[in-house]
């Protein structure tokens, strides 16, 4: 039996050198069991017209916007439904896939979304949309800013939430059970195809107020599951030594809430899932998380993110994503572009980044530095 292949590490051995500099530090690690856009959808938060149309309805509207008359659209739909060419290869579908126009020529709308007529989808609006999760990233309290429903911090910048908040498949809440369809789909389908994320908190005494170190790392292993499909707590994960997914922050613990000591001063970069969002890249990062009595964590990650990263993530699945979960992809493009609120392009003035808030949950885990040479004990 290749016993050498099985590595055991005492928690004390990994906490200090890997995750922080504190002498006699206490360290707790957690494997992320949910990561999604932090949504807080409420009835009426999209104004009197309500959320944007669902895709089957929207694509008929898109066909009309392309110049087809209502009668022509109805005729095309009837022909499509009759199935002579197969519904999925029908005229309405094809019209939507190739709804981009370059010099009058129809082009793939997912590849060239800027050539698609802006369907002018709605974002969150009004008083009922006021409470959204996030952080005041720019230090200002503007008219369009939100208020965090937990911390009641004002001036919350989360334009990504505003942009997607009225897309039917992006509406929902925080927990996996209440999560928007888009993220529930992405997590359920992709979780076993991506390396787990590990969050580690290190401090002299994690139960007391004081300084701490907070790290986000990517593991070598995938998230491990119990026999019933639930994520398995207390499993061990080797930390990917690549710096691409190592994020280390000075943090503070205050009344059990862990926040960054210098919010907005650092970036965040984690390899995520090549089939969804390949890399989560954020600037001016804010984080807050709590260790809950059941040993799990719940937290939020905020910052500015390139919106073209997000568009590519949703659009990479093309028609199947549009049909199955995301909705009008070109419409998303225009929403993201419209609500982007950071990092103006020197050439065009177009904002290239959008303020975003993600929420995450985690369960206890062991983080193991794979270079660590010493097993705790051998017989």
Partner 1 sequence: MPGARVKPRARIVFALAAVLAAPAFAAKDKVTVAPEEAAVRRLTGEQYRNVIRVVFGPTIAFGGHFEPGLKVGGLAAAGASSIGVTPAGMEQYDAIARVIAAQVVSEPYRAQTMPCQPENAKAADDACAQQFLSSVGRLLYRRPLTPASLHAHVAAAHAGAEATRDFYKGLGLSLAAMLSAPQFLFRDAELETDPDTRGGWRLDPYSKASQLSFFLWNAGPDLPLLAAAASGELSSRKGLAHQVDRMMASPRLEAGVRAFFIDNFGFDEFAELTKDAVLFPKFSAQAANDAQEQTLKTIVQLVLKENGDYRDIFTTKKTFLTPELGAIYRVPLVDDRPTGTPDGWAPYEFAADDRRAGILTHMSFTALHSPAGRGSPTIRGKALREVILCQKVPPPPGNVPFNIIQDTGNPLFKTARDRLTAHRANPVCAGCHKITDPIGLALENFDGAGEFRTTENGKKIDTSGELDGIAFKDAAGLGKAVHDSPATPRCLVNRLASYALGRLPGAGEQPWIAALQASFADTGYRVPDLMREIAVSDAFYRRALPRPPVVAGTAPVQQEAK
Beta carbon of residue 319, minimum distance to partner 1 (angstroms, whole number) = 33
By CB under 8 A, what part of segment 320-339 binds partner 1? Answer: none
Q: Is 1 in the site for partner 1 (CB under 8 A)?
A: yes
Roughly what angle, to the nearest 10 degrees, separates helices 55-65 and 70-82? 130
Q: Is 3 in the site for partner 1 (CB under 8 A)?
A: yes
What whole-number distance in Å separates Cα of residue 174 and Cα of residue 178?
Answer: 6
Beta carbon of residue 358, minimum distance to partner 1 (angstroms, whole number) = 26
Contact between 237 and 366 under an 8 Å Cβ cutoff? The reply is yes
Number of residues that bind partner 1 (CB under 8 A): 35
Beta carbon of residue 7, minimum distance to partner 1 (angstroms, whole number) = 5
Q: What is the DSSP letter of 131?
A: B
User: Residue 224 or 250: which CB sits closer to partner 1?
Assistant: 224
Q: Is 366 in the site for partner 1 (CB under 8 A)?
A: yes
Q: Is 316 in the site for partner 1 (CB under 8 A)?
A: no
Beta carbon of residue 34, minimum distance to partner 1 (angstroms, whole number) = 16
User: Residue 136 or 202: which CB sits closer to partner 1?
Assistant: 202
**Residue 3 vs residues 7, 222, 236, 375: alpha-carbon distances, Å:** 8, 22, 17, 11
DSSP H helical ranges for 20-130: 55-65, 70-82, 91-97
Q: Is 287 in the site for partner 1 (CB under 8 A)?
A: no
User: Residue 9 or 216: which CB sits closer to partner 1?
Assistant: 9
- For the beta carbon of residue 19, count every other beta carbon within 10 angstroms: 25
**Residue 200 vs residues 212, 247, 344, 363, 370: alpha-carbon distances, Å:** 10, 10, 34, 11, 16
Beta carbon of residue 337, minimum distance to partner 1 (angstroms, whole number) = 41
Q: β-strands 235-239, 351-369: how paired?
A: parallel
Q: Is 375 in the site for partner 1 (CB under 8 A)?
A: yes
Give the dihedral sign, CA 288/291/292/297: positive
Mark the segment that binds partner 1 (CB under 8 A) among 83-91, 160-168, 253-261, 363-371: 363-371
Contact between 199 and 289 under an 8 Å Cβ cutoff? The reply is yes
What whole-number distance in Å separates Cα of residue 38 and Cα of residue 138?
Answer: 19
Q: Is 178 in the site for partner 1 (CB under 8 A)?
A: no
Angle at 297 between CA 293 and CA 302, to 5 degrees: 140
Q: Is 347 in the site for partner 1 (CB under 8 A)?
A: no
By CB under 8 A, what part of segment 226-285 binds partner 1? Answer: 226-228, 230, 232-238
Contact between 180 and 169 under an 8 Å Cβ cutoff? The reply is yes
Contact between 288 and 136 under an 8 Å Cβ cutoff? The reply is no
Three-class secondary structure of residue 304 per DSSP: strand
Beta carbon of residue 9, minimum distance to partner 1 (angstroms, whole number) = 5
- For the beta carbon of residue 69, count every other beta carbon within 10 angstroms: 10
Q: Is 5 in the site for partner 1 (CB under 8 A)?
A: yes
Q: Is 8 in the site for partner 1 (CB under 8 A)?
A: yes
Beta carbon of residue 186, minimum distance to partner 1 (angstroms, whole number) = 22
Provide the CB-side half-sphere exposure for 73 (13 A, CA).
Answer: 17
Q: Is 9 in the site for partner 1 (CB under 8 A)?
A: yes
Q: Is 206 in the site for partner 1 (CB under 8 A)?
A: no
Contact between 316 and 377 under an 8 Å Cβ cutoff? The reply is no
Q: Is 364 in the site for partner 1 (CB under 8 A)?
A: yes
User: Residue 12 or 188: which CB sits closer to partner 1?
Assistant: 12
By CB under 8 A, what part of segment 209-228 binds partner 1? Answer: 220-221, 224, 226-228
Q: Is 368 in the site for partner 1 (CB under 8 A)?
A: yes
Mark the segment that binds partner 1 (CB under 8 A) among 4-12, 247-255, 264-272, 315-323: 4-12
Contact between 22 and 203 under an 8 Å Cβ cutoff? The reply is yes
User: Residue 241 or 318: which CB sits closer to partner 1?
Assistant: 241
Q: Is 7 in the site for partner 1 (CB under 8 A)?
A: yes
By CB under 8 A, what part of segment 112-171 binds partner 1? Answer: none
Q: Binding residues for partner 1, per CB under 8 A?
A: 1-3, 5-11, 14, 220-221, 224, 226-228, 230, 232-238, 364, 366-368, 370, 375-379
């Amino acid at each position: 039996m290749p016993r050498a292949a099985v590595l055991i590490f005492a928690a004390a051995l990994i906490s200090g050198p890997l995750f922080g500099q504190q002498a006699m530090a206490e360290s707790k690690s957690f494997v992320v069991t949910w990561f999604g856009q932090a949504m807080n959808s409420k009835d009426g938060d999209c104004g009197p017209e309500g959320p944007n149309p669902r895709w089957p309805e929207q694509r008929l509207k898109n066909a009309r916007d392309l110049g087809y008359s209502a009668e022509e659209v109805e005729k095309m739909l009837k022909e499509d439904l009759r199935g002579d060419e197969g519904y999925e290869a029908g005229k309405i579908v094809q019209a939507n896939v190739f709804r981009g126009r370059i010099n009058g020529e129809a082009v793939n709308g997912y590849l060239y979304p800027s050539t698609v007529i802006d369907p002018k989808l709605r974002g969150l609006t009004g008083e009922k949309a006021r409470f959204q999760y996030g952080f005041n990233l720019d230090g200002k309290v503007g008219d369009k800013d939100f208020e965090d429903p937990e911390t009641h911090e004002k001036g919350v910048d989360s334009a990504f939430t505003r942009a997607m908040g009225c897309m039917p498949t992006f509406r929902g809440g925080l927990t996996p059970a209440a999560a928007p369809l888009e993220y529930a789909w992405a997590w359920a389908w992709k979780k076993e195809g991506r390396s787990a994320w590990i969050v580690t908190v290190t401090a002299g005494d994690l139960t007391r107020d004081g300084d701490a170190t907070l790290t986000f790392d990517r593991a070598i292993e995938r998230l491990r599951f119990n026999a019933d499909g639930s994520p398995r707590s207390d499993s061990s994960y080797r930390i990917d030594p690549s710096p691409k997914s190592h994020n280390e922050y000075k943090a503070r613990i205050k009344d059990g809430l862990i926040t960054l000591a210098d919010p907005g001063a650092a970036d965040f970069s984690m390899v995520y899932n090549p089939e969804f969002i390949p890399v989560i890249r954020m600037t001016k990062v804010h984080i807050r998380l709590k260790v809950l009595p059941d040993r799990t964590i719940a937290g939020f990650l905020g910052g500015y993110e390139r919106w073209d990263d997000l568009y590519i993530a949703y659009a990479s699945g093309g028609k199947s994503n549009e049909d199955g979960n995301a909705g009008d992809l070109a419409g998303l493009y225009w929403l993201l572009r419209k609500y982007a609120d950071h990092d103006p392009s020197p050439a065009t003035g177009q904002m290239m980044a959008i303020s975003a808030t993600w929420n995450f949950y985690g369960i206890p885990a062991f983080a193991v530095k794979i270079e660590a040479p010493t097993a705790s004990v051998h017989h």
